[in-house]
Amino acid sequence: MTASHAEVVAVPVERVAGGFFSLRSGVAGDVVRTFVDHRIRPVIVGTSPRPAESDAPGDFVREADRGGQVWFVPGHAAPEERPAPA
């Protein structure tokens, strides 16, 4: 008998705590690192908030998408329909 586990976890952006997108909190890095350590790709589904005073959340999303370890998708698209990195 072999053990199996999820490879991808989809989380609606509405279910993500606000502190996740505040890079100073370090929450995003800790959460992503935990998933990656367990070889699970988190997929955040929906549009991430972008505070007017900073584009840090947008920068994090772009960098994360380039790395391929965490995905941010605007809607419930299939993984093969995921937008190409910028």
In the predicted model, what is the mean pLDDT of the chain?
A: 75
Spatial separation of the C-alpha atoms in residues 32 and 64, rounded to whole Å = 9
CA-CA-CA-CA torsion for 65, 71, 77, 78, nearest 10 degrees?
100
Taking residues 11-36, what's their average pLDDT? Answer: 83
Tell me the per-residue pLDDT of 35-50, one tens digit each, with 9 for 90 and over: 989 989 888 888 766 5
- pTM of the predicted model over 0.85: no
